[in-house]
Structure 1
């Protein structure tokens, strides 16, 4: 669950001093890469502000499915405890069994509340949690998962590469108090497996150059497409694409590698796709306050406004005839493995779902 850090509870650094062995400071005046990579995280870009998606948007939908599944399972256990504990108790059940049942009931209800909290960060909330960088006023605006607005000056942030799990790093923006303790923090969308990850440094360089250069030209040139979810919710097609590119990331059009991974893991990706649709359709688009929009007024003839000057859409890598056979084979294999896995789980419970047998019988 490390890639969901900061979504359900505060970041691990809040209220603490930054640890030198887990933090590597970045100099906003110093270049870290010759290449700039937006990593398909741009919502809007112009010469006034750059708006990015949140770090959790790439995997959006997974938490929805996970939470709903566990909530249904736990409600089943609660029903069993209540039914056999209060309405139809076993003949030989005594006080000990009642107390044990009550303990399990409290644990299950507490766990349900936890998963409901997780679910509400993806469903019945905001479609995304935008990060906006105003290059003219040198200010940063962030709508956080708790729906509060964080506003601070660009120069006030301590910016560094932060290790948040054994093998994951992000670009972390932190506000520090007089005792060097973190009071507020957020991270850029893209994360890496190392503080030396070229893609991570390229992502930071994209934001750094936007805020530090005289114009937005260099960052604008690096953007090949935007994800315009500030006005409308993403379409089903866009949700499908987002699930597909989440397998490998990158700024390139959908390619052969992404398709191979997607069809090889189709049952899981399809479930994630359904979860993403549910989370987006049940949530509302976040809006910055009017005073923020006034501070971020776009110039009439802004040459770097992607909405006024869009670029040709990225064309996916064409599918060759032999690839259809490969994708079909991967799809069938992934379904067989998935159904076999469910059969093994049912056998472990002393049952036999027979899904795999039913599949071959249908064929």
Structure 2
């Protein structure tokens, strides 16, 4: 669950001092890369502000379906526990069975509560949690998962590469108190597998240059497309496109043959995202910054760096080669067989046999 750090609770650094062996301070005045990479995380860009998606948006949908499955299973077990505990008057019931029933009741109530908590971070919440950088006022505005608004000056943040798991690093913005303890924090959308990741440093450079350069030109030139979800919900097509981006990280490259092969080879995994993401988006509402923030971020008329006024052609995927269609079909069929076989194994563990594989081969 390391990729979802900060979504279901505070970041691991909040209330603590930053650990030197897990933190590498970044100098906002110093360039870390000649390349600027937005990683398709831009919602809006103009001469006044840059708005990005949250770090969890790429993987959105997985937690939705996983928590729904956990809640359904928990409800099923709770029904059985309550039925046999309160309505079954079998003489074989004993004190030991009653105690065990109470323990299982507490356990599954806990699972149900935890699943609901996870579910509410992606569903019946906000469609995304935007991060806005105002280059003119040198301010940062963040709508957080708890729906609170974080506002601070650009210069007040400690900015550094932060290790959040054994192999995960992000660009972390932290506010520190007098004892150097973190009071508030957030991370840029793109994460890397190392503090030396060129894509991660390029992503930081994209934001740094936007806030530190005299104009927004360099960052504007680096953006090939925006994800305009500030005034509307993403469409079903966009949800599918976002899921299809996952096998192709870093995301600013055109979709490759290798990424497509990876997608179809693990289709049951991506299917979880394809089902969960649209559901989470449709049940949530679009976040809105307060009116006073919008006043501070007013876009100038005829802004040459306003992407909405001056859009660019979208990135085009690599053309699909004829032999790929055969490979995709074979990988899809193999993945379906593996998925149905997994369901059969689960049913066998319960002493039943769903017979899905047998039914599939029957129709073939």
The interval holding the TM-score normalised by the smaller chain is over 0.9
Q: Deviations over 1:150-207 (max 9, x none)?
A: 0000000000000000110000000000000000000000000000000100000000
Deviation at 1:107, TM superposition (A): 1.6
TM (norm. structure 2) is 0.98
Q: Is the 8 A contact 2:248 2:256 kept in 1?
A: no
Residue in structure 2 matched with residue 100 of structure 1 by the alignment: 100
The C-alpha deviation readout for 1:86-136, integer Å capped at 9, x for no partner, is 011432112221122112111211210111011000000000000000000
- 5 Å-filtered alignment, 1:113-262, equals 113-249=113-249, 250-262=251-263
1:334 counterpart = 2:361: no
Contact map agreement 2:54 2:129 (CA 8 A) in 1: yes
**1:304 corresponds to which residue?**
305
In angstroms, what is the RMSD of aligned CA positions? Answer: 0.9
**Counterpart of 1:295?**
296
Contact 2:248 2:255 (C-alpha < 8 Å) held by counterparts: no
Aligned residues: 363
Asked whether the equivalents of residues 83 and 89 of structure 1 are also in contact (C-alpha less than 8 Å), the reply is no
In structure 2, stretches of 5+ residues that fail to align are: none
C-alpha deviation, 1:318, in angstroms? 1.7
Do the aligned residues in 1 keep the contact of 2:247 with 2:260 (CA within 8 Å)? no
What SS does the aligned partner of 1:159 have? strand
Unpaired runs of 5+ residues, structure 1, are: none
The SS at the match of 1:231 is coil
Answer whether contact 2:143 2:150 (CA < 8 A) is retained: yes
Q: Which residue of 1 aligns with 2:80?
A: 80
The separation in 2 between residues aligned to 1:118 and 1:82, in whole angstroms, is 25
Is contact 2:14-2:184 (8 Å) kept? yes
Q: Secondary structure at the match of 1:247?
A: helix
Show structure 1 runs of 4+ deviating over 3 A: none
TM-score (norm 1): 0.98
Between the aligned partners of 2:113 and 2:277, the Cα distance in structure 1 is 21
